[in-house]
């Protein structure tokens, strides 16, 4: 889910003037299949990712996207055209724009659905921190990244230096902290991913929405700076007398389409909860 606002002091992640198409983009082992669900919150649509070692007869499908029959059958056809079948279906988190098509894709392919949250699994296997999946012929490691949601994970394809980020990092703009998310967790996840960018090292981020990002360290530095500046803006709004999420959104997100303000309130509530935990709310104010 995209948060389109950013503070004036934080530079945007720069994209090419004429960026390549998202559908079909990727790496040697990861290919994007763009779902037909564009919106202000999903950007161009949900990126479904097919992961496989070249020549492998099996593949992983990450984030089937919406329950759209044409999209799901296209995923199956693309796998068949590559001489592959789906071995496992993985979810970066449980939001419907990523997970709603999972049950139907499982029915079409016979593949189990793996997720951090047991509520979204079809089968007994989950996605735990550090788990290594090898069903596609290449190593895929689970990186727990709670924050956008409590169940968010990223997936590291080490051979490509690629990280599938779900909604933790988007290809354009920044993500919102959802109602089941937590800002402190999210900041911690961003710090761990920034360290991973140097350690892996990462060469590309493959997001759940928007184009791939070829400067992982730069993108993560931007995300971290953006979150810190947004906290400063919320603190300034509180100092100016704003007290409700709606009042803060009206000040901090003034340049954002008002239709997106309800989603911005999710992030503001998460920021207020963070400030409350830090003892940084004005006297007498409770979150």
Q: Cβ(10)–Cβ(222) under 8 Å? A: yes
CB atoms within 10 A of CB 174: 22
Q: Which residues are catalytic?
A: 97
What backbone torsions phi and psi does residue 119 show, to the nearest 5 degrees? -65, -20
CB atoms within 10 A of CB 53: 17
Which DSSP category does 213 fall into?
B
CA distances to 164, 199, 226, 250 from 204, in Å: 9, 13, 20, 35
Cα angle 209, 210, 213; round to 5: 115
DSSP for 132-155, written as a single string: EE-TTSS-EEEEE--SSSTT-EEE
Q: Cβ(104)–Cβ(69) under 8 Å? A: yes
DSSP for 163-179, written as a single string: EEEETTS-SSSEE---T
- 110 Cβ neighbours under 8 A, 6+ residues apart: 86
CA torsion sign for 65, 70, 72, 77 is negative
- Block residue for tokens 């735990």: 128
Q: Please tell me the distance from the alpha carbon of residue 102 to that of residue 111, in angstroms, as a whole number.
A: 10
């Amino acid at each position: 889910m995209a948060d389109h606002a950013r503070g004036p002091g934080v530079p945007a992640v720069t994209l090419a003037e004429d960026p390549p198409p998202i559908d079909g983009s990727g790496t040697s082992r990861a290919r994007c299949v763009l779902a037909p669900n564009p919106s202000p919150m999903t950007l161009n649509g949900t990126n479904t990712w097919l992961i496989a070692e070249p020549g492998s007869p099996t593949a992983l499908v990450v984030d089937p996207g919406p329950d759209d029959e044409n999209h799901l059958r296209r995923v199956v056809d693309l796998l068949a055209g590559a001489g592959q079948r789906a071995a496992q279906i993985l979810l970066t988190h449980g939001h419907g724009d990523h997970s709603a098509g999972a049950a139907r894709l499982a029915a079409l392919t016979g593949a189990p659905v793996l997720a951090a949250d047991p509520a979204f699994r079809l089968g007994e296997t989950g996605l735990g921190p550090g788990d290594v999946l090898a069903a596609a012929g290449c190593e895929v490691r689970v990186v727990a990244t709670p924050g956008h949601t409590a169940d968010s994970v990223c997936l590291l394809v080490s051979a490509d230096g690629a990280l599938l980020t779900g909604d933790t990092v988007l290809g354009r703009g920044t993500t919102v902290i959802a109602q089941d998310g937590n800002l402190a967790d999210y900041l911690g996840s961003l710090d761990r991913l920034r360290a991973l960018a140097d350690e892996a090292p990462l060469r590309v981020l493959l997001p759940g929405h928007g184009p791939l990002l070829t400067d992982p360290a730069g993108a993560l530095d931007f995300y971290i700076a953006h979150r810190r500046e947004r906290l400063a803006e919320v603190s300034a709004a509180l100092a100016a007398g704003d007290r409700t999420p709606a009042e803060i959104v009206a000040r901090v997100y003034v340049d954002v389409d008002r239709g997106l303000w309800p989603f911005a309130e999710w992030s503001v509530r998460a920021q207020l909860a963070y400030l409350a935990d830090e003892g940084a709310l004005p006297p007498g104010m409770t979150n």
